[in-house]
Amino acid sequence: MRRIRRLNIRTLPRGAFKALCAFTLALCTVLVFDARLRPAVRNIAMTRAKSLAVRTVGSSIEKFISENPEDCAALVSVSGSGGKVNSMSLNAASVNLFKSRLVRAVDEALEENARFTVKIPLGSVTGSEVFAGAGPEIPVTVRMTGGASAQITDEFISAGINQTRHRVMLRVECSVYVFLGGDEGAAEFSDEYCIAENIVIGSVPQTAVTIDIPQRQ
């Protein structure tokens, strides 16, 4: 039976022993550095990702609304005669189409920002408040993905004497997921936008129908 020889550090040449010690020290340094760097990168990445997503969603919604004024106007159905408004309601077909197109535009905008770089000051990984934010910056690539959902509602509020304001409100909820090596995190946020508004002179219409059909893609 062949015997397995064990490595005896004492019998190693001096050069090989120094190389082994240097490799072990370098490996420990990398592990400690990674352990300190990862939480800092994760926290900063989540903050940057949420901020980037909020700006991206907001700008994409504003662009969509400005480029599609007819779609916003088509959301409301008005009926009446003799200059009097008898009813105002949301058009279900127009609402569904609007939300579907809007969510698609938001998702595409988020996809365009799916990868970004976070720069971490070297001093931030030391754990010391004295060196926090100091030193050269370490660039780290982060992947982000996200999705949005939309809800449309309407409301009647007083606009003065014998006047009523009818507003169509858009609420967008967004979930963002960040991937950094073996780590991942998630953040959620929402915002509301007024996408259509009308002033009704006289009494509030007797028939006011609110339709709220969530649309998710």
Give the pLDDT confidence of 133-142 residue by residue, as tens digits.
Answer: 777 887 878 8
Q: Give the model's pLDDT for residue 15.
A: 63
The residues, any chain, with a CB within 8 Å of residue 96's CB and separated by 6 or more, are 213, 215
Helix (H) or strand (E) holding 87: strand 84-90
Does residue 52 carry a pLDDT above 60? yes
SS3 167: strand
Domain residue limits, the chain = 12-115+141-216
Q: How far apart, in whole angstroms, are the C-alpha atoms of residue 37 and residue 114?
A: 22
pTM for the full predicted model: 0.68
Q: In which band, very low, low, confident or very high, does the pLDDT at 100 lie, cut at 50, 70 and 90?
A: very high
Q: Give the model's pLDDT for residue 80.
A: 65
193 close to 173: Cβ distance less than 8 angstroms: no
pLDDT in tens, 14-45: 666 566 667 777 777 666 666 666 777 777 77
185 close to 178: Cβ distance less than 8 angstroms: yes
162 vs 93 pLDDT, higher one: 93
